[in-house]
Amino acid sequence: MIDKLFGSKTRVKLLHLFMNHPGQPFYVREITRLIDEQINSVRRELSNMLEVGIITSDSGDNKLYYQANQRYEFYRPLRAIFAGESMGSEEKSAEAKATVNQNEVDIIADIPSLRLAIFSGVLVKGSTASVDVILVGNVSAAKAKAAIAMVEKLEGRELNYTVLPYDEFYYRLSVRDKFITEVLASKHSVAVDKDNILNEK
């Protein structure tokens, strides 16, 4: 039945493969062995999936590798279908997703010495930013990584994040640094702002 819904048995097998192995790259001959389909059929479906944006490709070791595009708009629903992963309670309404998941905010807010946290990218519907979380303060890299890993687990995908010292962020904000300006110009959510720095600006 699912083959009919998605139009191709090969496409369904590819979706199962990619959605069950996020972050893992595969090359064409490896894929044909894993899903037991003809190479021409696999190449055709990979081309279709690349065009839509479901997967990405990258070259290395004289091979072309493919993997799930975790920034694809419908990545989480596809994971729910093909990897049996729950989309979580935050998906219950469009309004809930338009803001951010409170559990994720709480995880980030618990990072010691954090003064400011901005959510954007895949965490905020409609955001075009390339970064998902900006953490500002005298934050331990290990603590930041651990908190982001917890949020990634809730999201079911990898996140792009950056950690900036407070003084550097304030300076970059004041000189209208391109990176900071692009994030703030895109849809975003201020999860933590202990000093009201963004309200002042």
Does one domain contain both 175 and 125?
Answer: yes
In the predicted structure, residue 147 carries a pLDDT above the cut 60: yes
Q: What is the rounded average pLDDT for all residues in the chain?
A: 85
**Higher per-residue pLDDT: 116 or 94:** 116
Q: What is residue 96's predicted lDDT score, i.e. its pLDDT?
A: 38
Predicted TM-score of the model (pTM): 0.66
Residue 13 tokens read as 């097998």
Q: Which of 19, 47, 82 is the last residue of a domain?
A: 82
Instruction: Find residue 65's DSSP bridge partners.
Output: 27, 58
Q: Which of 64, 82, 100 is the last residue of a domain?
A: 82
Instruction: Find residue 57's DSSP bridge partners.
Output: 66
* Amino acid (one-letter) located at 67: Q
Mean per-residue pLDDT, 146-163? 91
Query: Distance (Å, rounded) from C-alpha 139 to C-alpha 117?
Result: 11
Helix boundaries (H) for the chain: 2-6, 9-20, 28-35, 39-52, 75-82, 94-98, 102-109, 141-155, 166-174, 178-185, 197-200
Mean per-residue pLDDT, 104-117? 93
Does one domain contain both 107 and 186?
Answer: yes
Q: What is the DSSP letter of 64?
A: E
Q: What is the CATH number of the domain that holds 31?
A: 1.10.10.10
Q: What is residue 93's predicted lDDT score, i.e. its pLDDT?
A: 38
Does one domain contain both 119 and 158?
Answer: yes
Mean per-residue pLDDT, 164-177? 92
Angle at the Cα of 171 from the Cα atoms of 170 and 177, rounded to 5 degrees: 105
In the predicted structure, residue 95 carries a pLDDT above the cut 50: no
Residues sharing a CB contact under 8 Å with residue 106, sequence separation 6 or more, in sequence order: none
In the predicted structure, residue 1 carries a pLDDT above the cut 60: no
Mean per-residue pLDDT, 39-52? 92
Does one domain contain both 67 and 97?
Answer: no
Q: Which of 31, 52, 82 is the last residue of a domain?
A: 82
Query: Distance (Å, rounded) from C-alpha 66 to C-alpha 28?
Result: 8
Q: What is residue 143's predicted lDDT score, i.e. its pLDDT?
A: 94
Does one domain contain both 113 and 183?
Answer: yes
Q: What is residue 87's predicted lDDT score, i.e. its pLDDT?
A: 55
User: Distance from CA of residue 11 to its chain's centroid?
Assistant: 22
* Residue 153: domain span: 90-200
Q: What is residue 84's predicted lDDT score, i.e. its pLDDT?
A: 72
- Asked which of 57-66, 78-87, 122-131, 171-180 is least confident by mean pLDDT, the reply is 78-87
**Higher per-residue pLDDT: 87 or 24:** 24
Query: Distance (Å, rounded) from C-alpha 107 to C-alpha 127?
Result: 21
Exposure of 7 in the CB half-sphere (CA atoms within 13 A): 5
Q: What is residue 178's predicted lDDT score, i.e. its pLDDT?
A: 92
What SS3 class is residue 171? helix
